[in-house]
Every structure is written in C-alpha cells, then in structure tokens.
Structure 1
Amino acid sequence: MKATKSKVRIAAITMLALGSAFLIFVAALLIRTYTFNPAGKPAASSATSQGITFSANFSLAERGQLLRAFKGALRIATVSRNATDFNSSALEEFRDYLPKVFPAVFASNLVRHEIIANYSHLFTVRGSNGSLQPYILIAHLDVVPVLEEEWEVPPFSAEEHNGYLYGRGTLDDKLSVMGILQGLEFLLERGYKPGRSFYIGLGHDEEVGGNHGARNIATVLQSRGVKLSFLLDEGSAILDGIIPGLEKQAAVIATSEKGYATISLSVTTGTGHSSMPPMESSIGILATAVSKLEKNPMPRMFGQGPERGLFEHLSSQLRFPLNVVMANLWLFAPLVSRMMEKKPSTNSLVRTTTAVTEFHAGIKANVIAPSARATVNFRLHPVHTLEELLHQVQYIISDERVKIEVLEHHPSLPMSSYDDTSFGYQVIKATIGNIFPEAVVTPGLCVASTDTIHYQNLTRELYRFTPMILKQEDLSRIHGVNERISVRNYEEIVQFYFHLIQNSDFLSLPHPRSTSHDL
C-alpha cells in the first residue's frame, strides 16, 4: 500500500513539474512575442517633417498628362524574346517618344541624357551639393512576349476599364520607367533643383538578362569612378491580403534577391521507324527525369536566409496565434515552411524552386526521336549553392543516360542593410510613409532576377521596391494574361518617385514617422 501511495505521489509530482515547465515554456513564448524586436528593426522616433518642398497634389490637368504619357508607353511593343531577338524598332520608337512626353526633363540644364548600347538610357541629374554621394533609380523598357488570343483586350492597346489600365508592362516594368521620369518632370516644372545628384538607368533587355543594357550602364558609371549611396530597382511591391493573418498592406523592400541556375537535360538514343519502337525512347527517358524533378522539390530552407527578417518584422502586426509563431521562428520554422510550400507565391520563399521551361524533341510523326532536350530553371534560395543543387539534381534523376549541363548561373545577391543607420532603406521607407501611411514596411526577399545584379560594384546598398499594390489575383498577371494596374495606383507611383527624389536630398537620415505601422 505504501509503495502504491509513493508511486502516486511521484506521478503527481512529475505531472506537476511537467505542467509547470509547460506553463513556463508558454510564458516564455508569449513574453518573447510581445517584447520581440528583430535585428535591424529601428525604434520609432518623434514625427518630423520629411522636408518636402513641393507637395504631390497633382492638378486635374497633370493627372490627365501622366495617364496619357503612360498609355502611350504601353502601346509601344518593346518585346524581348531572347538576347538576339528583340523589337529594335519599338525600342527606337520608345527613344523618340520620351522627349515628347517629358519635355522639361530633356530641356533642363540640370539633366544629361545619354543613349547606352543603342537602346538603353542614362540620365544624370546634377545636384547642388557635390559632397553628397549620388544614388540611382533603375527600371527596364522591355517586356515579355504575349499570347494575344488569351487576353480580354489587345495587350498593347492600353485600354482602360473600370478604373484599370490593361497592357503588357503595366506591372513589369513600364510603370517604373514612366513613374520615375514623370515624377522628375513634375518637379522640374515646379522649379525644383536637387541638392543630391542622382542617376536614372533604363535598361532595354532586363527580361533576357540585362547583359547589354544594365551591364553597359553600370560599366559607364564605373569607368567614371561613380560610387553610389544606394540603388532602387523593381522587384518587390505592396502586398494586400497575400500574407495570412495580416490585415494591413505590407510594403516589402527587398534587401536581397534569389540567384538562378538554368540547366539543360539531354538524352541521346538511336533512331528508327515508329513501327518498331525501342523499350524506352529518348523522349520517355527525359520525361521520366523531368517528372522526378517536379515530384521531388528541393529541400526546405526557410528561416536560413533574408526571408526570415520579413516574417519577424511582421510578427507584431499579425493576429494571434500567428504573432506567436512568427516571433518564435527558432521553434516554428519547420511548421511555417510546410504551410508556405502549399502556395506557389509563398513556396518561392521556402526553397530553391524548380521550373521546367522548355522541352524539345522529335523530327517527324513516324520517326523515333534520336534525342530530347529540356531546360530547367532553378531560382536559388540564398543559402543554396550551385554545387549542392547539381548534386541533388543528379541524385533525384539517378539516370546516367541523362546528361546534365549548366547553361547559366548567377548566385544570390548579398543582403543589403536595413537598420536605422541605413540611409537608402530609411529614405525609401520614409517615402512609403508619405504615400501609404497605413502600410507596414518590412525588409524581404526578391524571388525573381533583376537588373540590380549588374550594379554590385557601384554600391552595397541594393534595394528592390515599386509601390504597386498586388492582391492575390494579381500575381498571375505578372508575365501572364490581362496584366493591369489601377489608374489610382499609377498616380500613387508617380507621387512616390516625386517624394523620393526630394527625400533623398537629406544630408543625413530622415526621421522615421511615429505611427503604428512603423517597424
């Protein structure tokens, strides 16, 4: 009897200890959640004027002007198919179009305009204070091809329906091209004279690598000994309703971008008449290899790269219990990554993605294909190396008949700073606050490739952000069918660059706005 009571007492003490430990553990999670301050998150300061000389209250006539200029740009089909197949006549038309819609820019004695590599543009805007390090705003003129029959409206018509402008380039990336120049045009018309010099670089072949446009613009600047304070390119946006548990819009400033590797898979076999087929054809062997890659994604790496900062910065804005989860990724990262991999839009943050983009095989309906070739594009998670990727591809396919060849590779870019001493990040953040005061501003990761890669020798502070508002249904429109942007959002984009140019004239950092959305 005494032994039984002793066992019961020990069991009770054990349960009490375990219960106490569990409560302590939960308390620790909650304390961390509500006191968590991720690295790089600046403390809020008292609200101060952003020092803007000119207000972006555009007149009705100016709003009509900016809309007409944008529509005209969208109607020029600057399509790039590959590095040697691009619409040179459209690029020439665009070159002639810009002076017509931005006369103040081209007439100003403060602005120098140069044509680079036949079709790209470099604008140098001279500031009054030569001691201030310049910055650069970049964008690209070219767009991806379209399947016109799938669109509801002609893709280069710039038709307006229900407050939206439809057309290839509305989201990628003529909104930046025209928004930057339109903002500068309105400032010059108002008599603005910048204190800090800056550059505008408009590449013509970003969609096919930027090896002629952006690369040559960067080379020209480097040959002149230019060092930049910061760079701002496309590559991220304002997300509306995309992040689960976040009721506010999230303005994501990408501080890094994924690298990529393009790999060729090829199989060569004998040929012959289709009436006497072999047990396995080159097409069948390659199809099996491709299927294996699609069914076996690369390993999850969430939390090991810059994408961690995005969710940690958002944690205080998320509903319970997501705020607890995101503030404690040291514990919940595996769970979060499994949830995120269910959607393409968030799966890209979790791992290196695998996309089979081309498949070539066969010469005639009754001839066994002697060879087959596929192209696979991998967008590399920042901590994933090419060597690791190739080893995993080889292991997944496990077929020596499939030849693996690297066609192109660019490693992920280093992460730029985003703390309270980072001039470029804080200027961009302050400008977002001017136009979108309720948005949560956070660092993040760009999952695509941009022209930013060519400017690494000019500055370490490389940022990617365009203030276009993206909802879940808009994501498929980028490079897809019925690409569009709201008229109101395009006006906000022009206002953003109008403010950004003025905010960048600060001798030192502007003070962050003291509102609830600041992080």
Structure 2
Amino acid sequence: MKTICLQLLSALALAAPAAAQDTPRPDQLAFRSLYKELVETDTTLSSGSCTLAAERMAARMKAAGFADSQLTLFATPEHPKEGGLVAVYPGTSKTAKPILLVAHIDVVEAKREDWERDPFVLIEEGGYFYGRGTLDDKAQAAVWVDTLIRFKQAGYKPKRPIKLALTCGEESNGAFNGVEWLAANRRELIDAEFALNEGGGGDSDGKGKVIGQSVQVGEKTFANFRLETRNPGGHSSVPVRDNAIYQLSRALTAIDEYEFPVEMTDVTRRFFAESGAARGDETGAAMVALAKDNNDKAALAIVDKDRFLHGNIRTTCVATLLDGGHAPNALPQRAGANINCRIFPGHSIESIKDELAKVIGDPGVTITQLPPKRPAPPAPPLDPKVIGPMEKLVAQYWPGLKVIPSMANGYTDATFLGAVGIPTYGIPGIWGDPDGNGVHGLNERIEVKSLYVGRDYMVDLVKAYADKP
C-alpha cells in the first residue's frame, strides 16, 4: 500500500506542472508554512541567527518522526549564531553511497528603510513571494527540509541514504562557513557520492514562460585584493601632485577600462551554443557565433551588452569598497580600495594579481590578496548517471527544453565540497526572471508557481537518485 501511495504521489507531482493551480494543494500549504518560518527567521550576519533557523527546521523534522540520532545541530563557540543542521535519511542498501542535499540558510543584509515591504515578512503579492532569501537560498533549503519530512510521513524507503546540510556563511566572504567547517571537521556527516546545490535552475521570459533550464557544473574562483597608496600628507592649503587619493583613483580607472581576454571552457562553449540557439534573438545568434569563434568581434559586441554573458567569458575585477584620508583639512596620507575578482578557470589567483599590477603600472600602488585564500575546486564531471535524471524530468515538466550545462560567474558552497572530492551540481527546477528577481538587492522575490513546480521537480529528482543508486 505504501508503494502504491508513493507512486500516486509521484504521479500527482509530475502532473502538477501541466495544470494551472490557483488553489494550492494541501501539501503545498504545509510547505508554505515551513517556508514562511524560514524566510521570516532573520539570518543576516549582522543581526540574525542561522543557528535559530537550523533549530526551527530540526524541530519540524523531529515532529515528523526523525530521531535525535538522525539530526545533528552544530555551531562553534566562536560563532554561536552561525550554526547549521545535518540530517540523515537512511537507505536500505548497505553498499549504495549517499547523496547530499545542500543549501545555505544565511542571507544578504536587508535594510527595512530601503525595501518597499518588510524583508523579513513573507508577503504574497501579484503571483510572487517577496522577502529576503525567498529565492537565494531559502527556497531550496525549505524544499529540501520539506522533501525529507514528506518522505518520513509517507514511510518511503529509498535504497540510497539521503543527507541534508543546511549551513551558514555562503553569503559572507571570510566569515565562518558551515560547509567548509563540516568538510574539515565532520566529513563523515556529509560524505556522499555527489551533492545537489544551488546555481542551476531555469530562466523565464519575465511573463511566466520557462524558456531554459540549466545545471551548474563549475564556477569561477573568487579573490579580494586590497589596493593601497600612501603619502606623507600635509596641509590641504598646499596641494601636491603626489596625492594618495588621486594616485589610487588612477589605478582604479585603469582597472575599470581594462577587459580581460575572452575565454571558454567546454562547458561555457556548449552553454553559448545551445542556450544561444534556443533564444532565437540577436543575442542568441551572437552567442552561437562566439561559440564557434572567440575572435568574432561583431558577435562579442552584442554579447557584451548582457551583464551575465559579459562576465561568463572572462575574468572580471571590480572595485567594491573605498576609503581614504584622515581629516577634511589635510592631504590624504592613505587611500585604499577593495577589488573583487571572479577568476576564469585555469588561472591562479597569483597570476591575476600580477596582471592587475601590469594594468595599473604604478609600483606605488600596493596590491595585497586578502583572506580567505582558497584554491579553485575542480569542475564536476558531466556524469550521465547524474545528468540523465535531470534531463528526463526536465523533458517531462517542460516539454521541448533541454538541460544546458553552465558555469557560474560567482561561487557557491560547491567550492568547499569539490575541494574534498564531493562533486556538486547546481540543479534545474526553480526558475527566475530576466531581471534577477532582486537577489542580493532590493525587494527579492520568487514566482509562486516557480517555487511550487520547482519543488515538485526537486522531489522527483531526489527520488530518481535514491531509488536507483
């Protein structure tokens, strides 16, 4: 009977995308409650607590029947509010390796005075859920928790063990990172054949139509550099040419005007070719042309108009912080800036530092790499055993769409998992709008249908892996 019920649940999930649902299903209402609690738990670094969010999710899982031995809450004395949760759903096979579901529960800062709505109140309006973290990444985190709760309630017995890690620190470079800590200190908790993460997903036309689905298989390396100029200073009534602020500004202008060379990996070339062909517009045609020839200047000029595509084919370095001077009536003795670089695969951080020095061309500008200093992880393989189920389900949910491999411009917690030998994939499913949905910015949102349909897809994807190791 349990098997029949599970088959029925799966069939209902697969049927969900085909029919518009104005009225949420009972299971979607239960999920909404969990999602609301997670979104409304402030997990910013400045004033929130990932530890509290993890405890609340653990309480829900325990109420659903998870034993204490299956739930591990963790935090360190130095970072008591930056804790997380690892949950283990056992499998029946003694030899099948686990899969790991990972999601970060920390969010980017959000000031109430800047937002149209309270960023820490889940608001449904005009077919969207609004709130900080509604998309990045509490949507995925809530789905993973809900998935294991549904499995427990249904008595589902997968062959492969399923692990879940909710962690903090992904949004704060240099802060405590839960995945990094687990990999270094509790590797046995998260050890898995592969992991499913953020970074992939779908694209819509901004009018409700899903036009693409991708799987993330690799990402750039990030590095922060401190640029600094120094000067003896003096009285502001006696200006000199050798001014620390002006010297720094010339260095920043040189970086701003410099474009790193165009490059492609096998993954990005395939992404440009397949995604471009699917677009059917001028940019799409230029993407296809550039995939054939990196030196096609006409195609590059069109592609570079798109911010994401511009960054996807080269290293980028941009000023993000600025400071200088010590008094309004004194010449500056010091000026500094933070340069954030997203480094294309195949380049070391040191080589980019050297390139910046050449671009600036002024030995009086010091360049110092800032912590954390992390090597680039290897990109996961395009393993048919992993990619195949994604493709099959995408074809069922969104007929006519293919799963296109992509590389992330930024970085995710895949950095730390890949470094310890756990291939990590950003999965298809949940989709976003062309404007980025306010992620990391103001009025972050996710389409309600995207969350509900994406959730069904993700449940079926986990079952596909868990049933057939």
TM class by shorter-chain length?
Answer: 0.7 to 0.9
Q: 2:364 aligns with which of 392, 401, 405?
A: 401
Moved more, 205-214 or 124-133: 205-214
Q: 2:128 aligns with which of 164, 185, 197?
A: 164
Q: Structure 1 length as normaliser, TM-score? A: 0.78
For 2:68 and 2:273, the matched residues in 1 are separated by: 43
Letter paired with 2:54 = R
Q: SS at 1:195's partner residue?
A: coil
What are the equivalent positions in structure 2 for 1:180-259 lying under 5 Å apart?
180-209=144-173, 211-223=176-188, 227-241=191-205, 249-259=211-221
For 2:310 and 2:37, the matched residues in 1 are separated by: 36
Q: How many Å apart are 1:249 and its aligned residue?
A: 1.6
Moved more, 366-375 or 383-392: 383-392
Q: How many Å apart are 1:430 and its aligned residue?
A: 3.1
Q: Can you list the C-alpha shifts for 1:248-269, whole angstroms capped at 9, x where unaligned?
A: 6211101101111211100010
For 1:306 and 1:411, the matched residues in 2 are separated by: 20
Q: How many Å apart are 1:465 and its aligned residue?
A: 2.6
RMSD of Structure 2 on Structure 1 (CA): 2.7
Determine if contact 1:141/1:203 at 8 Å carries over to the other structure. Answer: yes
Q: 1:276 aligns with which of 232, 238, 244?
A: 238
For 1:308 and 1:254, the matched residues in 2 are separated by: 14
Determine if contact 1:271/1:369 at 8 Å carries over to the other structure. Answer: yes
- Which residue of structure 2 lines up, in the alignment, with residue 93 of structure 1? 52
- Which residue of structure 1 lines up, in the alignment, with residue 307 of structure 2? 344
**Does residue 74 of structure 2 align to residue 116 of structure 1?**
yes
Letter paired with 2:43 = T
Determine if contact 2:286/2:303 at 8 Å carries over to the other structure. Answer: no
What are the equivalent positions in structure 2 for 1:330-409 lying under 5 Å apart?
330-331=292-293, 334-335=296-297, 336-408=299-371, 409=373
Q: How many equivalent residue pairs? A: 442
- Which residue of structure 1 lines up, in the alignment, with residue 229 of structure 2? 267
For 1:220 and 1:125, the matched residues in 2 are separated by: 21
Determine if contact 2:40/2:121 at 8 Å carries over to the other structure. Answer: yes
Q: 2:41 aligns with which of 72, 76, 100?
A: 76
Q: SS at 1:207's partner residue?
A: coil
For 2:286 and 2:171, the matched residues in 1 are separated by: 40
Q: Do the aligned partners of residues 220 and 54 (structure 1) sit closer, same or farther apart at CA in structure 2, a change above 3 Å counting?
A: farther
Q: Do the aligned partners of residues 171 and 325 (structure 1) sit closer, same or farther apart at CA in structure 2, a change above 3 Å counting?
A: closer
Letter paired with 2:115 = W
Any gaps of 5 or more consecutive residues in structure 1? 1-50, 81-85, 509-519
Q: Structure 2 length as normaliser, TM-score? A: 0.86
**Does residue 110 of structure 2 align to residue 149 of structure 1?**
no
- Which residue of structure 1 lines up, in the alignment, with residue 405 of structure 2? 443
Q: How many Å apart are 1:237 and its aligned residue?
A: 2.0
- Which residue of structure 1 lines up, in the alignment, with residue 19 of structure 2? none
For 1:459 and 1:249, the matched residues in 2 are separated by: 33
Which of 1 and 2 has greater Rg? 1
Determine if contact 2:179/2:413 at 8 Å carries over to the other structure. Answer: yes
Q: How many Å apart are 1:481 and its aligned residue?
A: 0.7
- Which residue of structure 1 lines up, in the alignment, with residue 451 of structure 2? 490
Determine if contact 1:424/1:461 at 8 Å carries over to the other structure. Answer: no
Determine if contact 1:262/1:376 at 8 Å carries over to the other structure. Answer: yes
Q: 2:414 aligns with which of 440, 448, 452?
A: 452
Determine if contact 2:183/2:416 at 8 Å carries over to the other structure. Answer: yes
Q: How many Å apart are 1:104 and its aligned residue?
A: 5.0
- Which residue of structure 2 lines up, in the alignment, with residue 29 of structure 1? none
Q: Can you list the C-alpha shifts for 1:166-201, whole angstroms capped at 9, x where unaligned?
A: 111012111111111112212222221221102111
Q: SS at 1:256's partner residue?
A: strand
What are the equivalent positions in structure 2 for 1:14-93 lying under 5 Å apart?
54-55=9-10, 56-57=12-13, 60-80=25-45, 86-87=46-47, 90-93=49-52
Q: Do the aligned partners of residues 413 and 423 (structure 1) sit closer, same or farther apart at CA in structure 2, a change above 3 Å counting?
A: same
Q: Do the aligned partners of residues 185 and 227 (structure 1) sit closer, same or farther apart at CA in structure 2, a change above 3 Å counting?
A: closer
Q: SS at 2:370's partner residue?
A: strand
Moved more, 429-438 or 303-312: 429-438
Percent identity, aligned pairs only, is 22
Letter paired with 2:370 = L
For 2:134 and 2:400, the matched residues in 1 are separated by: 24
Letter paired with 2:184 = T
- Which residue of structure 2 lines up, in the alignment, with residue 310 of structure 1? 271
Determine if contact 1:362/1:368 at 8 Å carries over to the other structure. Answer: yes
Q: SS at 1:492's partner residue?
A: helix
